[in-house]
Amino acid sequence: MAEDNTNGNGKDSSATAAGGQDAQQQRFQIAKVYLSDVSFEAPNTPEAFRSEWKPQVDVELGSRAKNLDENTYDVLLTVTVTAKNNEQTAYLCEVKQGGVFRLEGFTNQELDRVLGAFCPGQLFPFAREAINDLVVKGGFPQLLLAPVNFEALYQQQRQQATQQ
């Protein structure tokens, strides 16, 4: 049975989701979302629970993409969170959230943008949920990471690359 990617008005939602201009030829499909690696360290427990909780939270993001075969790409988003309370590391949490994407009909420039901005943006909610779960299971208050504008980060990286 053929897969129906229409959004109810006859337009292909898989192509328009990636912001493609030619919805007739461009295809975007999430084939698999997976958790590649997780790490949670709370080096100063149980002492960390005894002081007033006013953390300084640092979030680092990174992503990489690689071609698996024709039109199939693996994107790995790495989110690292370090929380310090009273200058002591309360916890360090890292999640590597992966996804396999099928992409067709994109120019090289469009493909670079989809792999560098759009795909990480699709993976971020999964990584955010995994981080929150680990933090809560570690005994700390929930951590709700703010949404990230991966398009702006992508543009910033491109601009820095051209200046070097």
Q: Would you say residue 10 has pLDDT above 80?
A: no
Mean pLDDT computed over 89-103: 98
pLDDT for the residue 161:
86
Whole-number pLDDT of residue 84: 97
Residue 21: its pLDDT value, please? 53
pLDDT on residue 164: 82
What mean pLDDT do residues 93-109 have?
A: 97
Q: Token pair for residue 1?
A: 């049975």
Instruction: Inform me whether the pLDDT recorded for 19 exceeds 80.
Output: no
Q: Provide, rounded to the nearest whole percent, the portion of the chain with pLDDT above 90.
A: 81
pLDDT confidence tier of residue 79, bands split at 50, 70 and 90 = very high
What's the whole-number mean pLDDT along residues 83-99?
97
Can you give 52-86 as a three-state secondary structure string?
CCCCEEEEEEEEEEEEEECCEEEEEEEEEEEEEEC
pLDDT digits 0-9 by tens, 28-43: 999 999 999 999 999 9
Tell which wins on pLDDT, 14 or 151.
151
CATH architecture designation of domain 19-140: Roll (3.10)
Q: Are 10 and 4 in contact (CB under 8 A)?
A: no
- Position 12 scores a pLDDT of 45
Give me the pLDDT at residue 9, please: 42
Q: What is the Cα–Cα distance from 81 to 97, expressed in whole angstroms?
A: 14
CA atoms within 13 A on the CB side of 47: 7
Residue 157 neighbours by CB under 8 Å, 6+ apart: 116
